[in-house]
Amino acid sequence: MSFPPGVTRRDFFMKIGIFFNGIVGVVLAVPIVRYLLSPVARERKAGYESWIPLGNLEQFPSGETRLATYRNPVVNTWDGDTADIACWVRNVDGKTFQVFAINCAHLGCPVRWFPQSNLFMCPCHGGAYYQDGSRASGPPERGLFEYHYRIESGKLLIKAGEMPTPGQASNIVREIRPCA
C-alpha cells in the first residue's frame, strides 16, 4: 500500500483512528440525546394528560368556589407530596362548572380565593382575577388557566396532568377571555 508524498503510515492510521472515534461518538450520542429528551418526547407521543376524578358533586356547592386536590396521573413513588396538585372548582349554577389551575397566569404562584370580594389574588406579584377567572388587575397578561371538565355518575372529572404555563401551546388548558 502506498501513501501520497508527505503522509506517513502513522499519520494515516492516526487519522483513521480519529475518524473511527468520531463515528463511535455519533453512535453513542444518539441514545444519549434520546435519553436526555425523554421528558419532551413523551409529551409528543402520548401526552401527559388524562381524566382525573376530583370528587363527588356534593363537595362543590352551587354558587361557591372550593379548593380541590388530586394526585397527578404521571407519578413516581419518590415524588412525595409534590404530586398532589391543587385547583379551584367553581360551581357556577349547579350544572355548569369552572375548574381553574392553582397557578397564576403570570409566573405560576398559587392564587388564593377570597369569597367575600369574589376575587382570586396572587401573593407573588399581585395579580388579581374575577370569580370567572378573567383578569382583574396586576401583571398577568390573561385570565386563569382553566381545565376541561366532565361529569360522570355524580363525580366531577378534569383533564389534567401537566403544570400550566403561560407559553403552553396545549389546547387542554383553555384560555378565559376577559368579560367585556
Residues lying near other proteins in the complex (CB under 8 A):
36-37, 39-40, 42-43, 48, 67, 69, 72, 74-86, 102-103, 106-112, 114, 116-119, 121-126, 128, 130, 136-141, 161-163, 165-170
Residue 91: all three cell numbers together: 360551581
* CA–CA–CA angle 74, 80, 165 (5° rounding): 50
Instruction: List Cα–Cα distances, 19 to 2, 3, 7, 22, 160, in angstroms.
Output: 20, 18, 16, 5, 49
Which C-beta is closer to other proteins: that of 17 or that of 110?
110
Report the nearest approach of other proteins to the CB of residue 62 (Å): 17
Q: Which is nearer to other proteins, 92 or 128 (CB)?
A: 128
* Min dist. Cβ of residue 124 to other proteins (A): 6
Q: Which is nearer to other proteins, 17 or 178 (CB)?
A: 178
Characterize the bridge pairing of strands 155-160 and 149-152: antiparallel
Q: Which is nearer to other proteins, 55 or 165 (CB)?
A: 165
Shortest Å distance, C-beta 18 to other proteins: 23
Contact 88, 120 (CB under 8 A): yes
CA distance 136 to 162: 25
CB of 86 to other proteins, least distance (A): 4
